[in-house]
């Protein structure tokens, strides 16, 4: 086997008489993390070699040897038997050096018509594209779990909140469907980013293209890209595809964090709206009664890592002149970390929602307190008593104050008491003061009425199917 130091020197060529010292090797090497691109790197190299042969740039025999040798390298890496070397800096040079060990001279023809610049841009684009697909799959599973919760509780009444104060009654199904809509937009962001990134940098070479008669359409098609990138400088210079992935991931992580926060609140002894299964809870080392929502809390924190990665890559890219600069070696670790934690959070949240038990009785009891039907009363005064809404708002506020002073709910006030505030109130007012009547009346499109919720569930089921 070729000595790795010698191999590194030969990769650099005759310009350099000696290899880098230990510190330079440590700061320059990326193999510690970019080895994750091995499958994409080998896939791109096989497509490139096949195209070179089809164009008559290398022989069919060399292309066959390269293709078979790369499959051997792939199997070695997947089996854990590959000798990664920091002296060879990155995944590209590690693979090529091992290919030379296996097949000899033909390995040296693989790099014809390309550079590590377009090679890494291709590898990274393929990897991020795969993560968009994985995120979309994870979101679909999460949406299905939320739909199941919504369908089960389409008419279960719970308090809706503003400022975390009781506002108006809604349904459990309506609340779950709010997250379905959020996660649905996350899906569209990943799908949109995937469409935009689906162009091939391969063949752009270092920055200016190449004089070899490459068929960039052929390699783009072989790698599942829609087309080759139209400008060689742009192809090797930008990482906006990674920034888009991170931006979509950050927004998705915010949605996950908000739902996680609600699960933490709802599972507390003060709310008892939901119960998490033992799979997603932990105990306390000192307090035996505790069931801690650790999985939800960890999901809530993931936005910190993911948003941090987004800011980090924006900062790396913000001042770089065209074309390639070594700064761009710092693009991958952030994206790898963000993708790992996003996919883990999606899987965990999907699992939690699937196992979650919503406590219908406790939610309904909470919805019935806190004067949650005050807006319904104001609306009744507008419709039935002919008051302007601002006057109706004032009358309702006076009735809330009366009920607060008596320590009762609005529907516990007598008709005489209500008429002492406004004479136009009659017995029919009680029809709007129950929480079930309140949610049933919210029939506007997108409202919380159970039949509206079920219509949205049906729409999403059809969309997913």
Choosing from 18, 163, 285, 428, the catalytic residue is 163
* Calpha distance 205→210 (Å, rounded): 6
* Calpha distance 327→350 (Å, rounded): 37
Answer yes or no: 115 catalytic: no
Q: Which residues 6+ apart lie within 8 Å of 348 measured at CB?
A: 280, 295, 298, 299
* Calpha distance 143→302 (Å, rounded): 19
* Calpha distance 413→418 (Å, rounded): 7
Choosing from 75, 277, 284, 369, the catalytic residue is 284
Q: What is the dihedral sign for C-alpha 243, 245, 248, 250?
A: negative
Q: Which residues 6+ apart lie within 8 Å of 137 measured at CB?
A: none
Answer yes or no: 341 catalytic: no
Pairing of strands 199-200, 227-228: parallel
CA dihedral 218, 219, 220, 221 (to 10 degrees): 50
Overall size of the chain counted in residues: 465
Distance, C-alpha 312 to centroid of its chain: 17
Tell me the DSSP string of 200-254: E-TT-TTTT--SS---HHHHHHHTT-SEE-S-HHHHHH--HHHHHHHHHHHHHHH
Tell me, letter by letter, the H, E, C secondary structure of 330-346.
HHHHHHHHHHHHHHHHH
Task: Read off the tokens for 120.
Answer: 């890494």
Name the residues annotated as catalytic. Answer: 163, 284
């Amino acid at each position: 086997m070729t000595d790795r130091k010698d191999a590194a020197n030969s990769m650099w060529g005759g310009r350099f008489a000696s290899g880098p010292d230990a510190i330079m090797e440590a700061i320059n090497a990326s193999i510690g993390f970019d080895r994750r691109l091995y499958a994409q790197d080998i896939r791109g190299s096989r497509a490139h070699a096949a195209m070179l042969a089809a164009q008559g740039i290398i022989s069919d025999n060399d292309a066959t040897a390269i293709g078979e040798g790369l499959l051997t390298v792939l199997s070695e890496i997947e089996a854990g038997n590959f000798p990664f070397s920091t002296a060879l800096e990155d995944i590209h040079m590690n693979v090529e050096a091992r290919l030379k060990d296996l097949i000899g001279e033909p390995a040296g023809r693989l790099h014809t018509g390309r550079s590590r610049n377009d090679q890494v841009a291709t590898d990274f684009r393929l990897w991020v594209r795969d993560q968009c697909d994985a995120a979309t799959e994870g979101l679909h599973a999460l949406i299905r779990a939320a739909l199941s919760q919504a369908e089960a509780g389409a008419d279960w009444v719970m308090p809706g909140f503003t400022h975390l104060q009781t506002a108006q009654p809604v349904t459990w199904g309506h609340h779950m469907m709010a997250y379905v809509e959020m996660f649905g937009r996350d899906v569209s962001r990943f799908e949109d980013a995937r469409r935009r990134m689906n162009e091939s940098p391969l063949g752009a070479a270092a920055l200016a293209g190449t004089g070899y008669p490459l068929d960039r359409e052929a390699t783009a098609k072989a790698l599942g890209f829609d087309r080759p990138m139209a400008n060689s400088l742009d192809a090797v210079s930008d990482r906006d595809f990674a920034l888009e992935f991170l931006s979509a991931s950050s927004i998705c992580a915010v949605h996950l964090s908000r739902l996680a926060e609600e699960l933490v609140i709802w599972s507390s002894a003060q709310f008892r709206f939901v119960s998490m299964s033992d799979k997603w809870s932990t105990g306390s080392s000192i307090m035996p009664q505790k069931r801690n929502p650790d999985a939800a809390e960890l999901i809530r924190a993931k936005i910190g890592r993911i948003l941090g990665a987004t800011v980090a890559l924006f900062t790396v890219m913000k001042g770089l002149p065209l074309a390639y600069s070594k700064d761009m070696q710092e693009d991958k670790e952030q994206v790898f970390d963000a993708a790992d934690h996003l996919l883990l959070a999606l899987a965990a949240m999907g699992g939690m929602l699937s196992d979650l038990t919503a406590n219908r009785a406790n939610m309904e009891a909470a919805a019935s307190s806190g004067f949650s039907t005050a807006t319904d009363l104001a609306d009744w005064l507008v419709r039935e008593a002919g008051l302007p809404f601002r006057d109706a708002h004032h009358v309702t506020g006076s009735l809330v104050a009366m009920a607060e002073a008596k320590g009762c709910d609005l529907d516990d006030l007598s008709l005489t008491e209500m008429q002492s505030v406004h004479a136009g109130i009659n017995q029919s007012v009680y029809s709007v003061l129950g929480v079930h009547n309140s949610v049933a009346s919210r029939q506007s499109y997108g409202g919380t009425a159970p039949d509206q919720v079920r219509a949205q569930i049906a729409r999403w089921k059809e969309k997913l199917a």
